[in-house]
Structure 1
Amino acid sequence: MHQRWQKRKSQLPLIAILLFIFVAFTILYNESNIPGIHHRNSPPSGVDGGEVRPRSTFHGGDFFSPTPPQSFGSVRNPPVRLDKHAICNSTVKYSGRRAFPAVRRAAESGVRPPDRKCDLFSGKWIFDNKSHPLYEESQCPYMSDQLACHKHGRHDLGYQFWKWQPHGCNLKRWNSVEMWEKLRGKRLMFVGDSLNRGQWISMLCLLQAAIPSDQRSITPNSELTIFRAENYNATVEFLWAPLLVESNSDDPVDHRLSERILHPDAVRRHSSRWQHADILVFNSYLWWRQGPVKLLWSDEQNGVCEEIGGQGGMELAMEVWADWVAGNVDPSKKKVFFVTMSPTHMSKDEWEPGSRGNCYGEKEPIEDEGYWGRDSDMPTMRMVGEVLRQLGSKVTVLNITQLSEYRKDGHPTIYRKFWETLGPEKLADPASYSDCIHWCLPGVPDVWNELLFQFL
């Protein structure tokens, strides 16, 4: 008995050593597959180029099954942080590269089944000077000088009195208190360009009167601007991200650049801001209409950019954005909206053939139902529609394009603050510097928010 115990005891250290080696090997093996733990050949933590989640690739209108996350190439140095000083050392034609080699299946593919008998986006504008406007321009402390048309000299105020009337049903009447109850304890964030910022300002103007002045605050204007309602423990925020992905135009003020450069595979810097919001409202379109863009891939070390047309660049950005949505959005916990393109009214002969000029001097909506202007780019709309369709119920589309097409009267034209000095030649010809892109407030963006109210 004693001898057998001695023999067994002498074997214990060897067994313990083997067991220790096995456990250590198991830990190291598993650690190499834990997101966030990087090794010599992995991209540095916190770098956009280090995202290795599979990409949503659209093939024949469907998603393929996902594969485990994997690196698509080692990054020897952190990618260049894009800002207004970024440059391309050289430019070549677009190679056809996409952001990720893998694919991802949305939790629920296909078109989201309609949950309403009425199409809220099909209808007409009705003049209503009893219930509209929903607020007074002068009573909104958050009004932008870019959108305050009456303040800057517009005296025909008819643009404030039109309400949207869907065919066969009615919009629920706007109620600020009810909206705040929907937002209680939540973060509502608008993400996009100046048109989305206009919708955010509209929302502040619609909501602010219901909050006592000592219960509301707003951060200084920056990339992320936050309005807080203390009594509802809620925020209404705006994040400047005009191209959705990281770009050299991400400064919310100083972004007028002759060369537009973007990381087509990098969304993490923006998504780190928006990922914890409860309700997200995205837009993107206008900035892709200003000519070709330059692609600087995150793992490119020599500053070589690829040039691509605006629609192609937008498709790449939308795919990377869609990949984030597919992998991070649970519709039961987070609501995501995408606002379709906001139309412009740059050429009067579109709604009045043979005429010259633009939206300057227009005082009434277009009455021709089904009207489409040339600037509403159908191929781009189809591309965006396909991307959104693949995301199923993860995204709700706010289809504001055609209803806004009718509102040629709703733009600031010359009645806004212009940030550059206008010369005598331009001032002598008002139509030459009319803003036919943005929208006066109160006005069209208020209806966009009324529609958002219906879906919350």
Structure 2
Amino acid sequence: MPANQSLSLSIPALFLCPWNITLQPAMGKEVEPEAEPCIGFRDGVCKFLVILLGSSLIMALSYQLFLYAATADTSSSSSENAEILAMNASTGQCDLSSGEWIPDARDPAYSNSTCSFISSFQDCLTNGRSDTGYLHWRWKPHGCELPRFDANKFLNRMRNKSLGFVGDSVFRNQMESLLCLLSEVEEAVLVYHDETFQTKTWHLPSHNVTLGLIWAPFLIKSTQAISKRHMQLYLDVLDDTWTSQYHKYDYVMLSGGQWFLKETIFWENNTVVGCHFCAGMNLPELGMDYSYRRALRSVLDFVSSSDHKPLVVLRTWTPTHFEHGLWYNGGICNRTKPYKESEYTADPVDVVMRDVEEERFQEGVRNGLRLRVRLLDTYHLSALRPDGHPGPYRRFHPDVSKKPQNDCLHWCLPGAIDTWNDMLMEILMGDEELRSAF
């Protein structure tokens, strides 16, 4: 489908409101989900330094753009990872997003009994999921290896730095995975939460590392003041929940998600310009990809113009795996192993939204953001893991015979989503290598 063609699907409104998590302000517990130039030197020296600097930059940038593996240090798991890194160095550039899932006999780095950060809705083992095969797969990129997350290395490299996640509940899911992975070395301390417990900040004092989770599911301003049924999206106004905190972070993770599938009315320049899924409202049906494209453009324009220059990581769209229906009408996800490449057919909605992300990322690179924006492409490896979701085990020991509601969007912890943080570590460690080269 052409990048400028909008996709509008006539699907029930209930599908457009997936997994809104409501929190109890008093307890912070989740409740029922609703479904520098060269100056002053002689010319010859200046030219030499410019050439040297340029060559170094090109080498470092090539390393970074392909998510090349970072060099190993003397951490607890560095021996194994050093072998992987040496292997990758011999094969050259590596695209970590292209590969396959292969069996892995090793246990996960943490468990539901060793990590206290797992939300009940993603605690599949505690909730009674008896098959554990989904825990024993690892992502094998074509032509190279992806090192396993190394908490010691991560914390040492991130010492005195901060990382913020901006997005929806899937980012909360990934943050909990990261907190669990790090807890094997140091337990994070919750130092801030808003009244809804959706925006939180943790601190790891031994390394002075700060982690932030900022609730901004659209990244842009949204309200429901005019229509309780339709979200009002202001495509040219960013959500100040995150922009007001942007300056606090050395690294910022951003992602849109399933919220863009909701029934929405679009505003630009304080004027309604169209909508998504608004039959009978006499408005242009522009489609969900229109709003997502405009939102990402507004985000990247902000990143480009901001005086604060963190490394920004754009994480790609997260696919769902509902079969035989959707979340509200009996849809399930009960598979117990990954798809092979030939077994998977992409959902058209996922393809369109993933293409919008690639389009906007490449546009940002062309417009001068090459050194400041990375793409964490988790889409394909996630699409091949229908077995990684809670399904009915979003609840404690559900009666499967009564066909309970399934969660086929979020991910069991531990599980497939831990691989997202394996990849994130490679990006962040690679950036540290680039910065330390100058």
> How far apart in 2 are the matches of 1:115 and 1:223?
30
1:139 paired with 2:85, answer no
How big is each residue's C-alpha offset from its partner over 1:44-72, in whole Å with a ceiling of 9 and x where there is no partner? xxxxxxxxxxxxxx99xxxxxxxxxxxxx
Judging changes above 3 Å, is the alpha-carbon distance between structure 1 residues 444 and 216 closer, same or farther for their aligned structure 2 residues?
A: same
Aligned to 2:315, which of 339, 362, 381?
339
How many residues were matched structurally? 324
Q: CA deviation at 1:443?
A: 0.8
1:450 paired with 2:418, answer no
How big is each residue's C-alpha offset from its partner over 1:159-190, in whole Å with a ceiling of 9 and x where there is no partner? 11211111111112321011011221111111
> How far apart in 2 are the matches of 1:450 and 1:281?
15
Q: Residue 222 of structure 2 aligns with which residue? A: 247
Letter of the 2:204 counterpart: A
Judging changes above 3 Å, is the alpha-carbon distance between structure 1 residues 389 and 204 closer, same or farther for their aligned structure 2 residues?
A: same
User: What SS class does the counterpart of residue 119 from structure 1 fall into?
Assistant: coil
Gaps of 5+ in 2: 5-21, 23-61, 69-92, 277-286, 429-438
How big is each residue's C-alpha offset from its partner over 1:24-59, in whole Å with a ceiling of 9 and x where there is no partner? xxxxxxxxxxxxxxxxxxxxxxxxxxxxxxxxxx99
Q: CA deviation at 1:455?
A: 1.3
Q: CA deviation at 1:234?
A: 1.3
1:195 paired with 2:170, answer yes
Q: CA deviation at 1:370?
A: 8.2
1:263 paired with 2:241, answer no
Moved runs in structure 1, 4+ residues, more than 6 A?
none
1:325 paired with 2:287, answer no
**Structural RMSD (CA):** 3.3
Q: CA deviation at 1:134?
A: 1.5
Contact 1:341 1:376 in 2 (8 A): no
1:273 paired with 2:257, answer no
Judging changes above 3 Å, is the alpha-carbon distance between structure 1 residues 248 and 427 closer, same or farther for their aligned structure 2 residues?
A: farther
Contact 1:124 1:369 in 2 (8 A): no
Judging changes above 3 Å, is the alpha-carbon distance between structure 1 residues 219 and 239 closer, same or farther for their aligned structure 2 residues?
A: same
Percent identical: 30
Judging changes above 3 Å, is the alpha-carbon distance between structure 1 residues 136 and 183 closer, same or farther for their aligned structure 2 residues?
A: same
> How far apart in 2 are the matches of 1:249 and 1:199?
27
Q: Residue 289 of structure 2 aligns with which residue? A: 311
Contact 1:184 1:233 in 2 (8 A): yes
Contact 2:319 2:383 in 1 (8 A): yes
Contact 1:343 1:375 in 2 (8 A): no
1:429 paired with 2:403, answer yes
1:380 paired with 2:353, answer yes
> How far apart in 2 are the matches of 1:173 and 1:238?
23
Q: CA deviation at 1:209?
A: 2.6
Q: Residue 222 of structure 1 aligns with which residue? A: 197
Q: CA deviation at 1:282?
A: 1.0
> How far apart in 2 are the matches of 1:268 and 1:288?
14
Letter of the 2:347 counterpart: R
Aligned to 2:259, which of 284, 287, 291?
287
Indicate the larger mover: 139-148 or 220-229.
Answer: 220-229
Letter of the 1:283 counterpart: S
Q: CA deviation at 1:113?
A: 5.4
Higher Rg of the two aligned structures: 1
How big is each residue's C-alpha offset from its partner over 1:173-226, in whole Å with a ceiling of 9 and x where there is no partner? 3210110112211111111011111111110011123126xx734434634201
Contact 1:266 1:298 in 2 (8 A): no
User: What SS class does the counterpart of residue 280 from structure 1 fall into?
Assistant: strand
Letter of the 2:136 counterpart: F
Judging changes above 3 Å, is the alpha-carbon distance between structure 1 residues 315 and 268 closer, same or farther for their aligned structure 2 residues?
A: same
> How far apart in 2 are the matches of 1:175 and 1:363?
27
> How far apart in 1 are the matches of 2:162 and 2:96?
25
Contact 1:160 1:441 in 2 (8 A): no
Letter of the 2:174 counterpart: Q
Q: CA deviation at 1:296?
A: 4.2
Q: Residue 393 of structure 2 aligns with which residue? A: 415
TM-score by length of 2: 0.67
Judging changes above 3 Å, is the alpha-carbon distance between structure 1 residues 342 and 236 closer, same or farther for their aligned structure 2 residues?
A: same
Q: Residue 233 of structure 1 aligns with which residue? A: 208
1:389 paired with 2:362, answer yes
* Residues 119-158 of structure 1 aligned to structure 2 (within 5 Å): 119-130=95-106, 132-158=107-133
1:163 paired with 2:134, answer no
Contact 2:67 2:426 in 1 (8 A): no
Letter of the 1:180 counterpart: L
> How far apart in 2 are the matches of 1:123 and 1:448?
14
Letter of the 1:446 counterpart: D
TM-score by length of 1: 0.64
